[in-house]
Structure 1
Amino acid sequence: MTSRCPCTSGLPLDACCGPVLADHAAATTAEQLMRSRFTAFALGDAEHLTRTWHATTRPASLELDEQTRWLRLDVERSEPTLVEFIAYYRRPEGRGRQHEVSRFVREDGRWFYLDGVSL
């Protein structure tokens, strides 16, 4: 039995974000890339996050917080180059959420995360 995708789409991981994380398929929309990036945070896949971060805004290095457990993603709004979402997490000190509007850009047929503004 295949596990459900962490992006909370309701689909199995291998039918949702799995192929994008494995770089076997490119995200076809900004929302699909956003979902795959949430899944990468949930699974601890820093390589996918780095690979899908636009070169002009990508940090020199990326360390994921191993104590943060990403629980759920709610996409509030999705436009061609913007995705507003709320990501829920749990840390040792308690639960929290990240509400953000993220910007994406498409270059050479691939989507990249550009930046985001917390709300």
Structure 2
Amino acid sequence: MTYWEDRAWPPTAEALMRSRFEAFRTGDTAWLLASWHPSTRPSSLHLHDNPVWRGLQIVNTVAGGPTDQTGIVEFRATYLRPAGGVGVQHERSRFVREDGRWYYLESN
């Protein structure tokens, strides 16, 4: 059973970001694609070179609440480097809400 079939869709952009981090962590490409906005979603997603994700820190959010239409979530995600040590990915991700559901749009 997939994430969206047995749970409520995340109510905020931050909650969706957290669920997407967990999906990257566990290799759940179905959820990553389902929660990606159709206008920017790739046709497929391969995580064969996905790093081992360790932790997620939300740095800032702009809007993205249950009644907003757009939101931004700035985060830092830590991962294990193949050669040893810890790496950090720092992004600001944009989200949009359509038909009551939040979708990931893009990052910069």
TM-score band w.r.t. shorter chain: 0.7 to 0.9
Stretches of structure 2 lacking an aligned partner (at least 5 in a row): 64-70
Are 1:91 and 2:72 counterparts? no
Amino acid at match of 2:20: R
Q: Residue 37 of structure 2: which of 46, 54, 63 is its match?
A: 54
Structure 2 residue aligned with 1:68: 51
**CA shift for structure 1 position 60:** 1.4
Question: Residue 67 of structure 1: CA displacement?
Answer: 5.3
Q: 1:46-72, CA deviations, whole angstroms, 9 ceiling, x for partnerless residues?
A: 100000000000011101135510000
User: Secondary structure, in 3 states, of the residue corresponding to 2:104?
Assistant: strand
Query: Which whole-Å CA distance do the structure 2 matches of 1:29 and 1:89 have between them?
Result: 24
Report whether the alignment pairs 1:36 with 2:19: yes
Residues in 1 aligned to 2:75 and 2:61: alpha-carbon distance in whole angstroms? 9
Q: Could you say what secondary structure the match of 1:42 adopts? A: helix
Matched, 1:111 2:98: no
Once the two structures are aligned, what percentage of the paired residues are identical?
51
State the one-letter code of the partner of 1:51: A
Alpha carbons 1:67, 1:92 under 8 Å: kept: no
Q: Corresponding residue for 2:60?
A: 77
Quick check: 1:73–1:87 contact (8 Å CA) kept in 2? yes
Superposition misfits of 4+ residues, deviation over 3 angstroms: none
Q: Alignment RMSD, CA only?
A: 1.3
Asked whether the 8 Å contact 1:67–1:91 carries over to 2, the reply is no
Q: In structure 2, how many angstroms separate the alpha carbons of the residues matched to 1:91 and 1:27?
A: 30
> Which gives a bigger RCO, structure 1 or 2 (Cα 8 Å, sep 6+)?
2
